[in-house]
């Protein structure tokens, strides 16, 4: 990765190591708009927490000014503070990601790219001619112009474009801000105690190289499957081991706090996940898709799985063009990758998932067998899953038991970043 002279100076100075990200940004005149935005949303406070560990991809003033006319002005209005938070979250990773980490992982990735997670979806990172390139969900590519500005609570990489999450229409913000702002605020959290709060470093990896999802699903003994299983169990066991002495009443109380339509609907401990889903009329479209994607054998196998199962209503909410494309015979691999993104290679009950979220400071990373991961968080009493594009699904029914795992129903179809 290419660094400018000023980056080297800041990285090597004692001043940088002693100051927080918020303090360093405040002293950089090229980041004054970012600093103003952070203060407007209150997110200068989390980045001032010396005990935290963040990576910030920091757009310069020129990057903000390059947005379509009117967008920046609308975002900076006090009444749109939540919408601005939503955009800023897409520039922050809760992990420490140095330039050398990025270069190493990109070099090791089979396809030359990695997908580091932010607090609102995944990015796509590549390296070209010694420069790190970051592609957002909208297909815009930003270049890291200054790397490894080291702070006491993380690192800053300066970038030359504002990164845009997949469900944000930047152009509409300039012309009809009300509709765009309402859509953004639906997903944005209302305070820094939520998804930000005391978020600390919760993952061991910068991102996941996009593997061959079809092979991972078709062969449950494949390295991709094993890697997913090991990573899930490592984190899951760490969270749950200390809680095994929790009495049954406490566990039942924890489980009941989740808002779900019908608890344990359709459980059949002697039937496989595929059989349980087939007997539940709410999952008929999922079952049809699983058959088309050749996933039924996996969900009938002797493994141990958790399936976040989109209901028929969730599939109905997809655009007709998307549904038709996924069900075409020539798109079996695409459908298989999508459905694999809803399967975890370990059994995780509702109570344990909620406990994992709590112990991870409200932000729990879940590895799927597709090779990509989800983020689980709480919104009141509801468990929310965030996919690689920053879209949300709510868990509506939990702990549907099967002989080889467990099903949790969700109200949306999740999609991986790529």
Q: Is the pLDDT of residue 218 over 60?
A: no
Q: Is the pLDDT of residue 12 over 50?
A: no
Q: Return the number of other C-beta atoms located less than 10 Å from residue 317's C-beta.
A: 13
Position 169 scores a pLDDT of 67
Lowest mean pLDDT among 18-32, 150-164, 210-224, 302-316: 210-224
Q: Domain locations in the chain?
A: 5-187, 213-410
Domain 5-187: assigned CATH number: 2.30.180.10
Q: How far apart are CA 118 and CA 132, in angstroms?
A: 17
Instruction: Quote the pTM value.
Output: 0.49
Token pair 């474009």 is found at: 161
Q: Is the pLDDT of residue 387 over 80?
A: yes
| Orientation of helix 350-359 relative to helix 223-241, angle to 10° | 80
CA 317, 322, 324, 329 torsion: positive or negative? negative
Domain 213-410: assigned CATH number: 2.30.180.10
Position 285 scores a pLDDT of 94
Higher model confidence: residue 392 or residue 182?
392
Which own/partner pairs from 301-305 qualify as long-range (CB within 8 Å, at least 24 positions apart)?
301/220, 301/272, 301/404, 302/404, 303/220, 303/345, 303/404, 303/405, 304/345, 304/346, 304/347, 304/404, 304/405, 305/273, 305/343, 305/344, 305/345, 305/346, 305/347, 305/404, 305/405, 305/406
**Quick one: DSSP state of residue 283?**
G
The reply to whether 213-410 shares the fold of 5-187 is yes
pLDDT in tens, 288-333: 999 998 889 889 887 789 999 999 999 999 888 888 888 888 888 8
What is the per-residue burial (b if ≥16 Cβ within 10 Å, else e) of 260-298? beeeeebeeeebbbbbbbbebebbebbbebbebbebbeb
CA 305 to chain centre: 20
Residues above pLDDT 70, as percent of the chain: 71
Confidence of residue 168 (pLDDT cuts 50, 70, 90): low
**Quick one: DSSP state of residue 119?**
B
Give me the numbers of helices (H) and strands (E) for the chain, helices first please.
20, 15
Higher model confidence: residue 396 or residue 176?
396
pLDDT in tens, 226-277: 444 444 445 444 444 444 433 334 334 333 334 443 345 567 778 999 999 9
Residue 182: C-alpha distances to residues 80, 178, 215 (Å): 9, 6, 41
Position 385 scores a pLDDT of 94
Which residues touch 125 (CB under 8 Å, ≥6 apart)? 102, 106, 113, 114, 115, 116, 132, 133, 134, 135, 207
Position 110 scores a pLDDT of 85
Q: What does the block give as tokens for 307?
A: 């399936």
Q: Is the pLDDT of residue 94 over 60?
A: yes
Q: Is the pLDDT of residue 390 over 90?
A: no
Confidence of residue 202 (pLDDT cuts 50, 70, 90): very low
Q: Is the pLDDT of residue 9 over 70?
A: no
Percentage helix, strand, coil for the chain under 3-state DSSP, each rounded to 5 = 40, 20, 40
Position 191 scores a pLDDT of 31
Mean pLDDT, range 133-151, rounded to an integer:
91
Residues β-bridged to residue 297: none
Among 37-46, 111-120, 167-176, 334-343, the range with the most confident prediction by mean pLDDT is: 334-343
Mean pLDDT, range 354-378, rounded to an integer:
85
Q: What is the DSSP string of 68-81?
A: PTTHHHHHTSGGGH
Position 3 scores a pLDDT of 45
Mean pLDDT, range 74-87, rounded to an integer:
77
Mean pLDDT, range 120-139, rounded to an integer:
87
Position 17 scores a pLDDT of 54
Q: Is the pLDDT of residue 32 over 90?
A: yes
Position 247 scores a pLDDT of 37
Lowest mean pLDDT among 16-20, 98-102, 320-324, 403-407: 16-20
């Amino acid at each position: 990765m290419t660094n400018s002279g000023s980056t080297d100076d800041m990285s090597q100075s004692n001043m940088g190591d002693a100051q927080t990200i918020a303090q360093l940004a405040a002293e950089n005149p090229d980041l004054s708009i970012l600093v103003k935005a952070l203060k407007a949303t209150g997110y200068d406070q989390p980045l001032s927490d010396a005990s935290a560990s963040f990576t910030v991809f920091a757009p310069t003033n020129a990057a903000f000014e390059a947005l379509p006319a009117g967008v920046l002005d609308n975002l900076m209005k006090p009444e749109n503070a939540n919408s601005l938070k939503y955009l800023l979250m897409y520039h922050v990773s809760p992990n420490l990601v140095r330039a050398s980490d990025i270069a190493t992982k990109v070099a090791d990735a089979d396809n030359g790219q990695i997908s580091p997670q932010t607090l609102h979806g995944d990015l796509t990172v590549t390296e070209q001619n010694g420069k790190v390139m970051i592609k957002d969900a909208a297909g815009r590519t930003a270049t890291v112009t200054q790397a490894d500005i080291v702070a006491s609570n993380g690192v800053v990489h300066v970038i030359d474009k504002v990164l845009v999450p997949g469900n944000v229409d930047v152009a509409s913000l300039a012309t009809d801000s009300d509709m765009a702002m309402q859509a953004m605020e639906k997903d944005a959290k209302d305070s820094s105690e939520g998804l930000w709060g005391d978020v600390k470093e919760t993952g061991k990896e910068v991102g996941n190289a996009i593997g061959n999802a079809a092979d991972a699903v078709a062969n449950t003994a494949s390295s991709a499957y094993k890697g997913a299983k090991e990573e899930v169990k490592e984190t899951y066991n760490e969270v749950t081991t200390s809680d095994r002495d929790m009495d049954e009443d406490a566990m039942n109380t924890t489980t009941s706090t989740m808002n779900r339509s019908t608890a344990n609907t359709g459980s059949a401990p002697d039937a496989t996940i595929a059989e349980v889903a087939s007997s539940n009329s709410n999952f008929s479209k999922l079952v049809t898709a699983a058959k088309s994607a050749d996933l039924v054998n996996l969900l009938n196998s002797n493994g141990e799985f958790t399936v976040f199962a989109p209901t028929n209503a969730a599939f109905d909410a997809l655009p007709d063009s998307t549904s038709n494309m996924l069900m075409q015979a020539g798109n079996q691999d695409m459908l298989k990758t999508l459905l694999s993104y809803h399967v975890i290679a370990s059994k995780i009950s509702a109570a344990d998932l909620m406990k994992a979220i709590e112990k991870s400071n409200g932000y729990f990373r879940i590895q799927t067998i597709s090779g990509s991961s989800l983020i689980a968080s709480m919104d009141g009493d509801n468990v929310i899953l965030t996919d690689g594009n920053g879209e949300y699904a709510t868990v509506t029914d939990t702990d549907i038991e099967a002989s080889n795992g467990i099903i949790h129903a969700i109200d949306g179809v999740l999609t991986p970043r790529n």
